[in-house]
Structure 1
């Protein structure tokens, strides 16, 4: 607690009124709004990393991100991802524009990892929650407040990351057609958290879904479309997604993902035909196919059973969770 950045955050947000800092030097939403030149030329020196707790470590990590050493890049991404997991994302959020550019560079190391960290910064950590209300929720909306372990407003961090993603949407949208399925999934995960351009992104998801041949990517695109719709209160989305789970001509992973999305987008009772299709199609094979998706990884326990945990919680919310709790 002798670190000046920790002390400044404590004084501003714990001892003082957070609203007094809006738009000021400790508002990461303002800090992340870099000029196009600074983003494109990777001018990390223009970011005041040291204003935020752990900012010095983040700056050091940023200097390694463009390394030719794949191991150094991986270690830098691990540090940024660890700050997300520890609810200490304020210093890492200004990295989002640079992470997007690494993901968009076909010659860069760990493109998928860079996009995944950018997407994680735009979400509050799930801690294994997989209810209908929470699986696809980005955690903060409107005037909702929540605080990181340092006392920094977590809603500001998440909003800043979401804004940074939409600022660079034109770099991300073409990546939905990337040759690497992992890049396509990570891109969909990032774009699902964008704070704006919802119509453009929705159209891109639906267009890619029509052309997509990889089953895991198809499942991810459906979940991404549902998450985007939830964040932007798209009233047409429940009908679109119901058409996907109720259509026997759709692939199993699309129908199962659409069923999850529909349950998250509505609070209606689960109809019998939806339960029946999940009994039929939510098999071990489907669960294994969907297990690498970031939505499933965020809720799995040590057994790696994200889909089963979601379905158990959503279809029988009163039943106890018998699986090992990874957060205990």
Structure 2
């Protein structure tokens, strides 16, 4: 494939991003035009990788990494996944090449024999949402995209990249929905986080998430199902989502993980003052044991190491958002290296 088209930052400064809108330098157009046989057959040579970029330059090296990610050798696949994470979604910045990886990442994750399927799905989800590290406020916690203009390391409009990734997720909903029943609870959790980014099919996805919630017995997954429903409801203005969330957190027959997740969801779906009965409910339900579980729910994990504490503090007490560390990248490395149960600090009260 010829790679003669080049994104020109100087031209954008003069004419704006509209210059490239709808062209083959608009990654949204490239994703929408990607043939199904290319995706299903992993015809990576048919994709214009070099036309787009990541944190370290051209995306020409992405197809080799995707190929290695499919390796039956865990070390080879694991290294490829690490390299993809470090480049196409670098420190929360979604590179313009990232959306092109999403259809292939989803197909790898759908293969039961693939390595690191939950992490592969997590990368697809990261390409399809605005990072919210340190932000657990009612207005930011369940926000997929943003109206604020954001650019990646190469000056490309990140809003387009996120939108393209969300469209790619929507196009492959049929691949993702069966993963809600996957035997691996980590895969089910990551599937929730990925499905919540979809730009369409909201009603169908919400129906599947709610159906799974009825039979789900793993607390981390149940909480993720609730938050995914709420995020889709908020993003797509689905009527009745807030009523549904309130009914869940107020229902004493529901498990604590569902009720706490529903309380967080409801707070993000309405502008009402925090009611006393919600505060009282959380005071009873939020224990160290529950927090150890919910801190690993993706939405909460991206707020802070002690994510549930920090999220509740921001939502209930209007605490200032932001990562409580001078070096957030050191904190993130610590989170990866040390198991959650070994990182638990003294827990402040929820109110």
TM-score (normalised: structure 2): 0.86
- The two structures, once aligned, show a CA RMSD in angstroms of 2.1
Using the TM superposition, name which of 261-270 and 71-80 deviates more: 71-80
Distance 1:265 1:313 in 2: 15
C-alpha deviation, 1:129, in angstroms = 1.3
C-alpha deviation, 1:80, in angstroms = 2.5
1:225-280 C-alpha deviation (Å, 9 max, x unpaired): 11111110112100000000011111001000001001111111110011111111
1:293-322 C-alpha deviation (Å, 9 max, x unpaired): 11122111xxx2000000011111156879
CA contact (8 A) 2:27 2:164 kept: yes
C-alpha deviation, 1:40, in angstroms = 0.5
Gaps in structure 2 of 5+ consecutive residues: 330-351
CA contact (8 A) 2:135 2:321 kept: no
Cα 1:9/1:61, change in 2 over 3 Å: farther
C-alpha deviation, 1:10, in angstroms = 1.6
Does residue 37 (structure 1) correspond to residue 37 (structure 2)? The answer is: yes
1:112-135 C-alpha deviation (Å, 9 max, x unpaired): 111111111000121321111001
Distance 1:324 1:290 in 2: 21
Does residue 112 (structure 1) correspond to residue 118 (structure 2)? The answer is: yes
Counterpart of 2:10?
Answer: 11
1:145-194 C-alpha deviation (Å, 9 max, x unpaired): 32223211111001101000010000110110111111111111111110
Counterpart of 1:93?
Answer: 99
1:66-119 C-alpha deviation (Å, 9 max, x unpaired): 222222222222222223233142112101000001111111111111111111
Aligned pair count reads 320
Distance 2:136 2:298 in 1: 13
CA contact (8 A) 2:134 2:321 kept: no
CA contact (8 A) 1:84 1:125 kept: no
Residue from 300, 309, 314 that aligns with 1:296: 300
Distance 1:314 1:5 in 2: 49
TM-score (normalised: structure 1): 0.92
Counterpart of 1:24?
Answer: 23
Using the TM superposition, name which of 318-327 and 51-60 deviates more: 318-327
Counterpart of 2:318?
Answer: 317
C-alpha deviation, 1:37, in angstroms = 0.5
Counterpart of 1:266?
Answer: 270
Residue from 130, 135, 139 that aligns with 1:129: 135
Does residue 284 (structure 1) correspond to residue 260 (structure 2)? The answer is: no
CA contact (8 A) 2:169 2:195 kept: yes
Cα 1:209/1:157, change in 2 over 3 Å: same
